[in-house]
Chain A
Amino acid sequence: MIFMLQKTLIFAIPLLIVALAGMYSERSGIINIALDGIMIFGAFVGALAAFLLRKTPFFVDHNQLTFILAMTVAAVAGAIFSLLLSFSAIKLKADQTIGGTALNMLAPAIALFTIKVFFSLDMLEMQRAPDSTGQMKDFGFVILNDDLPAAAKVFFDKAYISTFIAIGLFILLSVLIYTTKTGLRLRACGEHPQAAASVGIDVNKMRYLGTTVSGALAGLGGYIYIATVANGTATGAVAGMGFLAIAIMIFGNWKPLGIALGSLLFGFLKCLGVIYTQLSVNIGGKEIYFLKDLNLPMYFYNLIPYVAVLVVLAFTSKRSRAPKAEGIPYDKGMR
C-alpha cells in the first residue's frame, strides 16, 4: 500500500506541475500546446547541468544540492525557451497552435543534435561519478528514511526532494493566482483582454508573465520527470507527458484543485501499469498477487488511464469552462 502510494506520487508530481504550467498560460489567454517541447528542453538542459556539476566531487557528495541546482537551471531554461512561443504569439500575433507545434519539434531536435555532437550518443545519462573519497556514486537523489510510522513513510521514505518543492510551488502558485492583484489581472486577460485593457492593465505584459511562468514550470516538470520516472536519462522525449498534462488541465477545468485531483488519479492509474505484478494483499498469512493472477496483459493496465480520462471527460464536459479568450491574439480594436 505504501509502496503504491509512493509510486503514485512519483508519477503524479511531474503531471501536477506541468498541468499547472498549462493553467498559468491558458488563464492568461495563450494556448500552450508546447508543454511537451518545453519539458523536453528543460529536461535536457537540467540533465546537462547535473552532468557537468557532477564532474566536481563536491557536487557528488551533496546530491540534494545538485538536484536543486539542476532543477533551477531546468526552470530557467524552460522559461527562456517559452519566450519563443510568447514572442510569436503575443508580439507577432501568430497562430498559437502552430507556434506551439514548432516548439514541440524544435526541442527534441536541439536536444538530440547537441547531445549527439558532444557525446556521440542519442541520450544523455546523469552518470555515476566519483565523490570526494574517490568512490563511484550513482545518480540517486532519493531521501532514505526507514524508521518512520507508515503514514509518514509515503512522503518521507525513498522520496525525492523535488516532490516537496513541487508540492510547495503548486500550493504557492495556486494561491497566488487567486489572491493577488497580479493573479486577478492575469486571469482577466484570459477572459476578456479588451475589458482588462480598459481599466489600465497591460495585456501583453500579463500574457508574457503567464507564458514565462508556464515555461519555467514545464521545464522544471520535465527535469523532475527524467530524474524520478525516467532513470535520469534525457532522450529527447518525455513519453508524451506534456500532452497528458494538457489533458489533465482540461480535465481539471483549468482550476488548481481539479488539476491536483486529476494528476493524482492519473498518476495512480499510470503507475498501476508498472507495478501491477507486485501488488499483493496478505490474507491469512498468504501473499496474494490479485492483479497478477488475473493474467491480463500489461497493455490492458497501460491503456486504463487513457480510457478513464475519456470516460470522465464525457461525463463532466457539460460544466467545462475554458478561458474565453484563449488562443485569440489580443487586438486592441476588437470589442
Chain B
Amino acid sequence: MKDPAKNKLKNKSSGSERCVKSVPGQAGKSGGFSSLLKKEGVRSVIASVVCVLGGILVGFIVLLLLSIFAENVSVGEAFSGIAIVLGGPFSGGSGRDILFQLGNMLFQSAPLIMTGLSVALAFKTGLFNIGAPGQYLMGAMGALLVALSIPQGSVPSFVIWILAFLTGVVLGMIWGSIPGFFKAYFNVNEVIVCIMTNWIAANVVSWIFKATGDRFINIEETKVNFIKKTSYNGVATATFGLDKLFANSYFDISIFIASAIAILLYVMINKTTFGYELKACGYNKHASKYAGMNEKRNIILAMAIAGALAAGGAALWCLNGSQDFKWDTYLTLPADGFNGIPVALLAGSNPIGVIFSAIFLKYIGVGGSNLAAQTSFNEYVSPLIVAVIIYFAGFSKLIKDLLAKQLKKAAIKADKKDSSGAPPAAETVIEDKTQDSASGVREDVKGGDHE
C-alpha cells in the first residue's frame, strides 16, 4: 500500500481513463449509464456480456442451419433447442429434476472455480498455467490416498477430510512449482513444461495406483478402472442437508469453500504487498528485480499457488464421497483442468468473476445435456457456444476500448456545449488534468482491481 511504485504503475495504466474523468460537468449531465461506463470494471462486465451474447447467437445459428439442412429436424426445434440450452438446469423437466440438476450443477462448479482461479492467478502474474490438468490429477491422488488409507474411527472423519484436502493441495503445489522452477532458473517457457508435467502426472498417478494394487481400486462394484469412493472410509464433504434439500443430488458445501478461497485470493492479489509483488513480476520481470523484488522466487510461488488451487479443486471433487475417479491409462486429461482456462478468460482473471463464469459454464453444460435428452440435437452444442464465447473474449479489450472511445467523444461534445461563451475550453481541460492526477491516484489505490 505504501509502495510508491504502485501508484506510478497504476498511473500509467489508467492514463487514458482519467482524461475522460477530467472533463468537467460531465458526470452530472449525461446521466447514470455513462457515469457507470466510466468504471473500468463495468466496462469489463459489459464486454463479457457482449461475448456471451455473441456465443449464444452463433450457437443458435448452428442449430438453425442444422434444422434447415437435416431432414428429421424441424425449424421450430432450433428455437426450442436454444431455449433448452439457455434454461440450463431449469429446462430439466419436473420440479424435482430441476432441483436435482441444480444441486449437481452447483457441486460441479466448485472444482471448476478452483481451476479457474488457478489459471486466473497465473494470468495475473504473467504466466499461462496450462498445467492445471496435471495439478488436478496430483491433487486428486493425494486426497484419495490419504482419505482412503487412514483407518476409519482412528480420528474423527473431518480430521481425515482436512488432512486429505491438505495433502492434495500440497502435492498440487509441488507439481505446480515445477514449471515455475524451470521458468525462473532455466528460462524455459512455462507452457511447454506445463504440458510435459500434465502427461507425467497422468502416468505417475496411474503408476502409483497400479502399484498399490487392490487397496484403493473399486473392485466391489466391479468398477476396476475407478478408485473407491471416499465414503467407503466415511469421508465426505459436509452437506448440512443441502443434498437432501436438492433432491438427493451431490450438493455439498464445496462451492462455498471454493467461493471463500476466491474472495481470499482477491484480497491477496489486490490488497497485500505479496500480491502486488506477484503482479509486478508479471508486468515486468526486470523492473521488479530492479525494485528489489526476488523475481525468481515470485514466479515459483505464483505457479505453486496456482498448482495448489487446481489441486484443491480436485480434492473438493473427490472428497465429495460419491464420485468415481478414473485411475487407469489416461488418453485425455481431466476436462475440468483445461476448462479453467475459459473460466479465467471469461472472468477477465478477476477471482470474484471466476465464481460466476464457472457457474455459467456448468449452467450451459447442463443445458446441453438436457438438449441431448429432449431433442435430436446433441450435447456438444454447449462446448461449441463456450468456445465461441472465448473466441469473442479475445476481442473484449477491443470492445472496452470502443466503449471508452465513445465515452470520450460524448464527453468532448458535452464539453464543447458547456464552454461556448464561458472561459476557453482548452484551458479547463488542462487545468482539470493536473488536479485530477492527484485525485486519480487516490482513487486507484482505493479501487484496487482494474484489470
Contacts and interface: CB of A to CB of B under 8 A. Distances in A.
A244 B192 CA distance: 8
A51 B395 CA distance: 37
Contact of A110 (B130, B199, B384): B384
Interface string A228-243: 0000000001011001
Given A102-B394, A105-B383, A306-B196, A314 B203 contact: no
B182 A95 contact: no
B222 interface: no
A56 interface: no
B192 A313 contact: yes
B186 A314 contact: yes
A94 B394 contact: yes
A16 interface: no
A7 to B, nearest CB: 19
Contacts of B342: 101, 105
B212 interface: no
Contacts of A322: 189
A205 B439 CA distance: 45
B391 A310 contact: no
B186 A244 contact: no
B388 A102 contact: yes
B331 interface: yes
B232 interface: no
A33 B345 contact: no
Contacts of A109: 380, 383-384, 386-387
Interface of A: 33, 84, 88, 92-95, 97-99, 101-103, 105-106, 108-110, 112-113, 116-117, 237, 239-240, 243-244, 246-247, 250-251, 297-300, 302-303, 306-307, 309-310, 313-314, 317-318, 320, 322
A240 B195 contact: yes
A58 B397 CA distance: 53
Contacts of A313: 182, 186, 188, 192-193
B191 interface: yes
B70 A117 contact: yes
Contacts of B193: 310, 313
A302 B203 contact: yes
A98 B200 contact: no
B164 to A, nearest CB: 23
Interface string B378-400: 10110110111011011101100
Contacts of B391: 84, 88, 98-99, 102-103, 106
Contact of A102 (B130, B182, B189, B387): B387
B195 A243 contact: yes
26 contacts: A88-B394, A94-B395, A94-B398, A99-B394, A101-B341, A102-B387, A105-B383, A106-B387, A113-B381, A117-B66, A240-B333, A244-B195, A251-B192, A297-B210, A298-B329, A299-B207, A300-B203, A300-B207, A303-B200, A306-B196, A307-B200, A310-B193, A310-B197, A313-B192, A314-B182, A318-B186
A109 B206 CA distance: 28
Interface string B117-132: 0000000000010100
B192 A250 contact: yes
A94 B186 contact: no
Contact of B393 (A92, A102, A116, A251): A102
A313 B189 CA distance: 10
A113 B66 CA distance: 11
B175 interface: no
A246 B192 contact: yes
Contacts of B204: 299, 303
Interface in B176-229: 182, 186-189, 191-193, 195-200, 203-204, 206-207, 210-211
A250 B196 CA distance: 13
B395 A314 contact: no
Given A98-B394, A102-B394, A303 B70 contact: no
Nearest to A36: B195
A239 B397 CA distance: 32
Interface in B22-46: none
Contacts of B395: 88, 92, 94
B224 to A, nearest CB: 16
A33 B390 CA distance: 14
Given A95-B394, A314-B182, A320-B187, 16 more contacts: A93-B398, A102-B387, A102-B388, A102-B393, A113-B378, A116-B380, A117-B70, A240-B199, A297-B207, A303-B204, A306-B197, A307-B200, A310-B193, A310-B196, A310-B197, A317-B186
Contacts of B200: 303, 306-307
B420 interface: no
B165 interface: no
B195 A246 contact: yes
Nearest to A96: B394
Contacts of A116: 378, 380
Contact of A117 (B186, B332, B378): B378
Contacts of A93: 398
A83 B400 CA distance: 24
A105 B387 CA distance: 5
